[in-house]
Amino acid sequence: MNLDTDKLRALTLDLDDTLWPIWPTIARAESALQAWLQRHAPRVTERFDLAAMRADREAVARERPDWAHDLSALRRESIRRLLVASGEAESLLDAAFSVFLAERQRVDLYADSLPALQRLAARWPLFALSNGNADLVRIGLQPWFRGSLAAREFGVGKPDPRIFAAACERLGCAPNEVLHVGDDLRLDVHGALDAGLQAAWVRRDGKRGREDDAALGARCWQGPDLLTLADRLGA
């Protein structure tokens, strides 16, 4: 796609799986939670192994689709259920969730992420737009971003056009003046395009699928990493 760089005034960026791989991060956070529970609520780990804990978290997500935009609420409810089912004190919930959330902020950036952010932020305001519960301050990336908006804070998540519109409004830009960058075809690419933004699809796996058709190719930039995008934008 020929991105309209002449109109470009700002970028919105997804976080999980765009700037860092999310599943190694979640796996570490779940392991840290399990270790904490083993010390402070041992009946939970006696009854539920890590796989069973993950299965319960998935069950909560199925039962509470109204919380799809709030991953913290889903995780907290899963921990609460495990405590109650095991006969442990529900009052341990806040401390247990804090352990999980702190480890969730310990991410391993992709090698290209920081140099690309530095180049892009030198040219345009960057704004984080995420369905997750990453904290840019705790991760250490806040200096490169003008602001952020999370689905939990806003009440709906991507691909809902309202969250894209809110990000553009906070940036003081028209949608077609903003390029959204993300890894997820439905949430990031189609969500942004449907909301009137330009879109960049970061495809780190290098795989090509049936969505690589002429129609999408004409509407969306695709590339393997953020440095390739920075090069394309002339940042």
The catalytic residue among 4, 6, 14, 135 is 14
Instruction: Please work out, in degrees rounded to the nearest 5, the angle formed at the alpha carbon of residue 100 by the alpha carbons of 94 and 103.
Output: 135
Number of Cβ within 10 Å of residue 167's Cβ equals 26
Active site residue 14: yes
180 burial via Cβ count (<10 Å: 0-12, 13-18, 19+): buried
Bond preceding residue 224 cis, omega within 30 of 0:
no
Residues belonging to the active site: 14
